Homo-oligomer: A and B are copies of this chain.
């Protein structure tokens, strides 16, 4: 079987070891003679999976005491509504920073409950930068951020400091770098980038927010519902949580966040250095805001498009076509993407320059 270099923006690459173990557990989990997906979620075997997953999140991200970790159904899109319901307070206003399509969608959901103010935006330049020097008034229940813009390839390198409680959608860069959980009231993330398969989302939140909402929350959208039942109020998405747990084990075994942050920086440096030094390419975003997860770039000579596409395809590179709203290319370099895959892409870019530069 040929190795494919999987630069997919998500669902995306996970470690081969994780796929192997999950594949075996689908036939025989914990030597029970049963598949991981056919056992009761109330069995001690599955409760152990859930508890290990929650505890690995706490350990890897150094989650401080007073915070809870839950794995819930749905992705970040449902999270937009969940965080709005749980964070709306007496002010009934929330501040959103619009760094792209996902941030915009998040703000729209708050509109069902109160007034969402876009207090900063990079829409004027197709979300190719992260707004700086943001001032936050004191009339908001919370400030909402999207840490990494998967589509445009931008990333907050420093989060604003704010007296207003902060909520962050970290779907596309959680577990990729050190963060200070205590800076946020809620961090939430869909699984399908650095965590696991699509189908679950993790919520990391300050326990003191529970019960403070100024509106009545539907049962399944209330973090308190799930907190009281240790993330087992209803049948959880068993397989997605199991594979997330395996993947977090892999991360811990290899050195945790400190290790992966270095690896991710090496991969990003390798590719961005090539983009900057190769005359046939240019980056799509402001240099200082470049995402270490999703590198977006364009050919300077559009006539070479077919040639380049044929070359990377021949090198077994997959998933680097840019999002239709940005064009060009997007190389997603999530945790499990080996540096060899980035090296292969860089070599193809160099070969293109050598032949056609």
Contacts and interface: CB of A to CB of B under 8 A. Distances in A.
Interface of A: 1-4, 6, 8-14, 19-20, 22-24, 26-28, 32-35, 37-41, 73-75, 77-78, 80-81, 105, 108-109, 112, 190, 192, 197-200, 216, 218-221, 233-240, 243, 316, 318-319
Contact of A219 (B10, B13, B77): B77
Contact of A239 (B27, B73, B112, B240): B240
B77 A198 contact: no
Q: Which 7 A-B pairs have the closest CB atoms?
A: A199-B237, A37-B197, A23-B26, A77-B234, A4-B33, A199-B199, A73-B74
Query: Counting chain B CB atoms within 10 Å of each CB, which of A14, A23, A28, A237 scores highest?
Result: A237
Contacts of A8: 38-40
A113 B138 CA distance: 32
A22 B197 CA distance: 14
Nearest to A78: B220
Contacts of A233: 77
A235 B192 contact: yes
Nearest to A32: B4
B26 A235 contact: no
A219 B105 contact: yes
A108 B222 CA distance: 14
A73 to B, nearest CB: 4
A191 to B, nearest CB: 9
8 contacts: A1-B33, A2-B33, A11-B39, A37-B198, A37-B243, A73-B199, A77-B220, A199-B238
A54 to B, nearest CB: 17
A80 B40 CA distance: 22
B11 A40 contact: yes
Contacts of A38: 6, 8, 11-14, 19
Contacts of A1: 28, 33
A69 to B, nearest CB: 19
Nearest to A235: B198
A55 B9 CA distance: 28
Nearest to A19: B35
B73 A75 contact: yes
Contact of A198 (B28, B220, B236): B236
Contact of A74 (B10, B34, B78): B78
A81 B220 CA distance: 8
B238 A197 contact: yes
Contacts of A316: 33
A322 to B, nearest CB: 13
A181 to B, nearest CB: 25
A46 B110 CA distance: 31
A341 to B, nearest CB: 13
Contacts of A74: 73-74, 78, 220
